[in-house]
């Protein structure tokens, strides 16, 4: 079994993403449009979510970028 198959997929809703990243809703969507933040996945007609693994990778990349400077 692969490592990814062993990891449970968790979908974060927008408020959870805001809490996890410290970003406001408008900033998250600005980054999504710019291609610098993971795109949300559709959960229904009017709901979206983000994969926690993608959000975590984005956070880790920001940490790595800030440590290089």
pLDDT tens readout for residues 12-54 = 999 999 999 999 999 999 999 999 999 999 999 999 999 999 9
The owner of tokens 């800030």 is 66
The continuous run of DSSP H or E covering 44 comes out as none
d(CA 52, CA 55): 5
CA separation for the pair 25, 40 (Å, rounded): 12
pTM for the whole structure: 0.85
CATH number of 3-68: 1.10.1660
- Residue 34's H or E segment, with its range, is helix 25-34
Residues 1-14 have pLDDT tens digits of: 455 556 789 999 99
Q: Which two tokens stand for residue 40?
A: 């949300």
């Amino acid at each position: 079994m692969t490592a990814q198959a062993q990891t449970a997929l968790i979908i974060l809703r927008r408020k959870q993403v805001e809490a996890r990243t410290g970003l406001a809703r408008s900033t998250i969507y600005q980054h999504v449009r710019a291609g610098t933040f993971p795109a949300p996945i559709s959960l229904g007609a009017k709901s979206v979510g983000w994969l926690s693994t993608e959000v975590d990778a984005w956070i880790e990349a920001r940490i790595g970028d800030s440590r290089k400077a």
